[in-house]
């Protein structure tokens, strides 16, 4: 009887041991499955985040120059607190860029734009932001900056472009830029009250700089002419070419008046 009882206890113990082993194995398998599922979900999440970052970058970054694009510039200008401080915006345009494309190729033109973007970024003050607006036009946002400071900062950019070694890019003539500057504020002073008005004002001053001979900075308070040794090396542009360049930009802003009262059609 004792032997039978012992065998019964052994059988029961084996039964519970087998049940425990089976349950432990199942739990281990479930644990592994959960970890595998978590790994897959995490991998998918990371891939989704990566794709989102790529899309966001493409939405806000200019692929040619690596600068922020027009959408990014509009966002930044929309964040300016013109009700609290003086802020300035500059519009930068490459002089005679069509001639560069016509004389060389669009690949040369792209190289010129990349180099201009690099120079603008390198020689901008800390805190200023450079964007590619469209084509050969760039925008510089200068927070907490009055007109006099903005003009000095933009003259630095103009000089950096004019002094660059353009022969290295097989460009037959020096590349220069014209810059229009507009300032809003400080609070209580007359002037633009929205970023669109601020940009429009800077764009109009850019047209004035173009009509005054290019390669210069112009603002509401006047303009800084290019140094004589800079204007001397510029190619002589025909009147037709200059008019086409100025009015080409004006057609992008129909109904705007120039400094002399002429209205762009």
- Residue bearing tokens 């140094």: 227
Short-list 192, 177, 88, 79, CA closest to 137:
177
How many angstroms separate the CA atoms of 221 and 148, rounded?
9
Predicted confidence (pLDDT) per residue in 187-220, tens digit:
677 778 899 999 999 999 999 999 999 999 999 8
- What per-residue confidence (pLDDT) applies to 215? 97
Residue 148 is classified by DSSP as H
Structure tokens at 169: 């890019």
- What per-residue confidence (pLDDT) applies to 255? 39
- What per-residue confidence (pLDDT) applies to 19? 73
- What per-residue confidence (pLDDT) applies to 7? 59
Please check whether residue 132 is in contact with residue 67, taking contact to mean a CB–CB distance below 8 angstroms: yes
Quick one: fold of 70-250?
Alpha-Beta Plaits (3.30.70)
Show the low-confidence residues of the chain (pLDDT under 70).
1-9, 14, 16, 51-58, 187, 222-265
Q: What is the b/e burial string over 227-264, where b = at least 16 CB atoms within 10 angstroms of the residue's CB?
A: eeebeeebeebeeeebeebbbebbeeeeebeeeeeeeb
- What per-residue confidence (pLDDT) applies to 28? 77
- What per-residue confidence (pLDDT) applies to 32? 80
Catalytic positions: 136
For 14, the 3-state DSSP assignment is helix
- What per-residue confidence (pLDDT) applies to 52? 67
How many angstroms separate the CA atoms of 148 and 155, rounded?
11
């Amino acid at each position: 009887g004792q032997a039978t009882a012992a065998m019964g206890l052994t059988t029961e113990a084996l039964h519970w041991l087998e049940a425990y082993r089976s349950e432990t194995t199942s739990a281990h398998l479930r644990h592994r499955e959960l970890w595998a599922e978590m790994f897959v979900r995490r991998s998918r999440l990371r891939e989704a985040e990566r794709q989102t970052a790529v899309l966001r970058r493409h939405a806000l970054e200019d692929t040619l120059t690596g600068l922020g694009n027009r959408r990014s510039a509009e966002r930044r200008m929309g964040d300016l607190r013109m009700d609290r401080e003086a802020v300035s915006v500059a519009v930068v345009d490459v002089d005679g860029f069509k001639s560069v494309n016509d004389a060389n190729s669009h690949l040369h033109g792209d190289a010129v734009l990349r180099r201009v973007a690099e120079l603008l970024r390198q020689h901008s003050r800390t805190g200023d932001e450079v964007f590619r607006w469209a084509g050969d036009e760039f925008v510089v946002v200068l927070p907490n900056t009055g007109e006099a400071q903005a003009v000095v900062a933009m003259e630095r950019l103009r000089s950096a472009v004019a002094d660059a070694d353009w022969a290295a890019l097989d460009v037959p003539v020096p590349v220069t830029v014209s810059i229009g500057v507009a300032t809003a504020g400080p609070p209580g002073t007359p002037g633009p009250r929205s970023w669109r008005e601020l940009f429009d004002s800077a764009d109009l001053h850019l047209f004035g700089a173009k009509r005054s001979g290019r390669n210069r900075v112009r603002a509401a308070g006047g303009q800084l002419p290019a140094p004589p040794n800079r204007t001397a090396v510029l190619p002589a542009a025909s009147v037709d070419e200059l008019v086409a360049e100025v009015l080409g930009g004006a057609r992008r802003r129909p109904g705007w008046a120039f400094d002399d009262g002429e209205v762009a059609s």
